[in-house]
């Protein structure tokens, strides 16, 4: 796990970069952080990671049916499959995609739907930093550029401490999304900052933008 440089720690929350991680190990580490946050042994923490290739299944009914590739294809592509206790459908995580896990006390908010709406506002702000116009789509989760999904969300809370979070497609390969019906999308596609801009982005810059946007949108709810 690599810590961000001290100059970037000027936030009322901790920022950690776990680098490349196996999803299951990162999930266990999240749960440990949640327990520590509930027990007052840890402050609010914003975690960044890039998962090794994995499809994760959320709690939405029918999520398993949206896995298209069979075991042979999954093995050939080197993609694992894990069930998760986050909300939402099936999605893909992989290198070049920034996955962010806010492990924060939401006692001041106590409204999961409001938390998701604020997170959507934050993601729109982040994407706009790169000169792209993103928005919500009625009846659908995540953030979109027209009918192209650029960020997915799935959260959970325990004793009003949040975990899981969002995944922003930055420089990641989009081909694995063809092995699933991502987030149950049947009338749209998936995109990335790289695809929309025509060139790769600096992930360190993206992390800086996310940290500032998180502060802008959640400062009054942090404890």
| Residues assigned a catalytic role | 183
Within 10 A of 27 (CB to CB), how many other CB atoms are there? Answer: 20
Residues 6+ apart with CB under 8 A from 108: 220, 221, 222, 223
Q: What is the DSSP string of 37-52?
A: HHTTSS--EEEEEEEP
Closest Cα partner for 30 from 73, 77, 86? 86
Residue 45's CB: how many other CB atoms inside 10 A? 19
Q: Rounded CA gap, 132 and 152, in Å?
A: 17
Backbone angles phi, psi at 23, to 5 degrees: -60, -45
What are the percentages of helix, strand and coil residues in the chain, rounded to 5? 35, 30, 35
The token pair at 16 is 């950690």
What does residue 184 show for φ and ψ, rounded to 5 degrees? 75, 15
Rounded CA separation 18/3 (Å): 8
């Amino acid at each position: 796990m690599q810590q961000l440089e001290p100059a970037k720690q000027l936030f009322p929350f901790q920022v950690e970069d776990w680098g490349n991680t196996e999803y299951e190990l990162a999930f266990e580490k999240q749960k440990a952080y949640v327990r520590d946050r509930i027990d007052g042994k840890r402050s609010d923490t914003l975690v960044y990671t890039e998962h090794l290739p994995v499809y994760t299944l959320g709690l939405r009914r029918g999520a398993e049916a949206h896995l298209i590739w069979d075991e042979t294809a999954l093995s050939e592509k080197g993609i694992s499959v894990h069930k998760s206790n986050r909300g939402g459908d099936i999605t893909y995580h992989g290198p070049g995609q920034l996955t962010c896990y806010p492990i924060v006390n939401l006692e001041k908010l106590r409204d999961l739907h409001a938390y998701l709406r604020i997170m959507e506002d934050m993601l729109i702000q982040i994407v706009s930093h790169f000169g792209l116009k993103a928005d919500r789509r009625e009846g659908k989760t995540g953030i979109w550029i027209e009918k192209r999904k650029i960020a997915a969300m799935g959260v959970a809370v325990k004793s009003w401490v949040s975990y899981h979070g969002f995944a922003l497609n930055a420089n990641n390969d989009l081909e694995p999304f063809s092995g699933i019906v991502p987030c149950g999308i049947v009338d749209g596609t998936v995109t990335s900052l790289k695809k929309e801009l025509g060139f790769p982005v600096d992930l360190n810059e993206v992390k800086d933008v996310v940290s500032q946007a998180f502060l802008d949108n959640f400062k009054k709810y942090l404890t």
